[in-house]
Amino acid sequence: VIRLYGYWRSSASYRVRIGLELKGLHYESVPVNLLRDGGEQRAARYRAINPQGLVPTLEDGPQRITQSLAILEYLEETAPEPPLLPRGAAERARVRSLAQVVASDTHPLANLRVLQYLTEVLGRSPEERHAWIRHWLAQGLAACEALLAGHPATGRHCHGDAPTLADVCLVPQLYNARRFDCDLSGYPTLLRIEGACLALPAFVAAHPSRQGDAVAG
């Protein structure tokens, strides 16, 4: 049994759901409510599963894996079809670097705990919090646009005509940027690729709005 501890609106959880769906793997969702009672992810019960106190965590039988990219690489190795990485070393590096622009350098800066620290500990206003989010998301998305637009390896998707780990990271990041009202008009390539992804059933099934713990509004 594969079990995914996650939260409907968490973009790192969303990445893993897309990967599981693309590979056609059946899994059980275990919701961890990031907002209830100061965050279930921080409670001792969940920290026993993931000491970092973050979602997602994947359990595959006796294996327990944290960090969405490590989980996705694990899925790639244990369920290689359809592949989410291209074949050549340089091509794989391109896909991984696109994924890491999002996962390492963009998403962490607008993560819940960072935003809570800005407002609750440093006393920043909601406007300053918003400016922070928009600034860092725009930097990350602009970098993705520059890396993808006009690159010969960019196709219908970030790399060629099938989704890879780069698409798996990009689509949740765009969802996240919309939540925070970011202006996306400067990223036509990203929007085109997002459109191609959202036409695929795996991306539809993994969408936050389709999760059992989703809250309206």
Ligand X SMILES: N[C@@H](CCC(=O)N[C@@H](CS)C(=O)NCC(=O)O)C(=O)O
By the criterion CB under 6 A, which residues form the site for ligand X? 10-12, 34, 39, 41, 54-56, 67-69, 103, 111-113
* Closer residue to ligand X (CB): 9 or 196: 9
* Closer residue to ligand X (CB): 19 or 56: 56
Least distance in Å: CB of 21 to ligand X? 17
Burial 199-213 (b: 16+ CB within 10 A, else e): ebebbeebbbeebee
Q: Around Cβ 98, how many Cβ atoms within 10 Å?
A: 24
Least distance in Å: CB of 98 to ligand X? 15
* Closer residue to ligand X (CB): 16 or 196: 16
- Nearest Cα to Cα of residue 17 among 216, 187, 215, 205: 205
Q: Around Cβ 90, how many Cβ atoms within 10 Å?
A: 8
What separation in angstroms does the CA of 168 have from each of 25, 63, 159, 173, 200?
15, 22, 12, 9, 12
Least distance in Å: CB of 32 to ligand X? 8
Instruction: Look up residue 149 and give its amino acid.
Output: A
Least distance in Å: CB of 151 to ligand X? 24
CA distance 162 to 197: 9
* Closer residue to ligand X (CB): 13 or 154: 13
Least distance in Å: CB of 12 to ligand X? 4
DSSP state of 11: H
* Closer residue to ligand X (CB): 37 or 161: 37
Strands 57-60 and 63-66: antiparallel
